[in-house]
Structure 1
Amino acid sequence: MLQPKVLVLDDEDEIASMLDHALSRDGYDVSTVRTISEFRDKQAGEAFDIYIIDLGLPDGNGMSLIQGLSRNPACGVIILSGRAADTDRIVGLEIGADDYIQKPFGMRELAARVRAVLRRTQQNKKAQDHNANASSNAANTESAIEFDGYRLDLGARLLFAPDGNEIDLTTAEFNLLAALLNRRGQVLDRDQLMNAVKGRDWEVYDRSVDSLVSRLRRKVPAPEGRPHYIRTVHGIGYAFSVSSGSAAGDR
């Protein structure tokens, strides 16, 4: 079995070396870099299963890398940061990071979180392989959801507007929309939505869920004069509703 590959981006030599030693001991194939420039050069030549990224770097903010990485559901992203502010944590999760670990941290905790993220990425890889092996007819039949002219392709993880143009979604936005669509008409609370977005149990940050919903409402507008598809259920969470006769169903 191939060793899972981890790329660590941290400009502190002591932390990078500690992560290299601890994760290598646990069976990971670990590479470390110190700058965003080195990270991009390394990533261009290899594919990694897990990315561990510090935010404060000599040539920029590590946050700038995360949204691009999150477009691939088969890789995991963990943020390391010495910042205690909730803002960084919330923004990082919103743009697609799987986890946020504040420095200083314990290696046992970090190793456990890496394993949890890896389980999620392995599940996504299996799903991708399944979709790739399915016939195009089966994919069109089983892995698309349509509503009001929009088309959510679950296999390709793409959303298309009624005019046929692709709507750019982050991984978190896509997962949230898919969770709501798969249970149309049902009210999902914030715990359920965060579990759907992150693929595992998660400490709930209400503001993060609310921000994701607000962004989806802007990117996926309902026709003028009609309420939005994502309905707020005060004190509980959200539900996806399409007016009678406007949903094309799963196909």
Structure 2
Amino acid sequence: MSGKFWLVVPAAGVGSRMAADRPKQYLQVAGRCIVEHTLDCFLDHPDLLGAVVCLAVDDPYWPQLAMASDPRVRRAPGGRERGDSVLAGLDLLQAVGAGAEDWVLVHDAARPNLAREDLDRLLAVLADDPVGGLLAVPVRDTLKRAGADGRVAETVDRNLIWQAYTPQMFRLAALSQALRGALAAGAQITDEASALEWRGQAPRLVEGRADNLKITRPEDLAWLKQAWAERNRQR
């Protein structure tokens, strides 16, 4: 099967936990915005058919980026929830000719440390999968389930628990139908895989690197800057 794929990047959030003067995807690292680094891994890939970035309607930062004029990257209006943004991106892809059975990867705008080998592994493992799946990492720490009183209710078997990352990879029509149905039903959808789960399907977990970090808090940004600085010194 073809390894060609489309990309949707939901980027309409404000990232309030960063306590910054702009959405976290526009914070600078190594001379460029986080979202530019995020998109680089995909724009450099020969199998990319096109990308959609889902942005707040009044976003003043995106038009200032050189990437905004890249013909491979289109802009869609972001929604109130992540699922709304992704649906807008999927609708735009359909409008420009993407097929119902085409693979679509959804990736967090503030997850700029995706390794190319992880992207290639995801594409290879899921190429013929009937459902699709996502990059994920088995948890390493002991996990506790809390009771209502704030005390430990039980220790969870960590061998059964994975931390969900992105990209997440599904067929366009299947993802669109799952998201639309779940949102209409008021289901709690925190990522694309959970929408497929709501429809009774079981996405495949593809193990990736643990440093595929989502920048959420100031300490995450500090870690990324240090990690990239050390990597550059080693070159």
TM over 0.5: no
For CA contacts below 8 A with separation 6 or more, give which structure has more relative contact order.
Answer: 2
TM-score by length of 2: 0.29
More helix by percentage: 1
TM-score by length of 1: 0.27
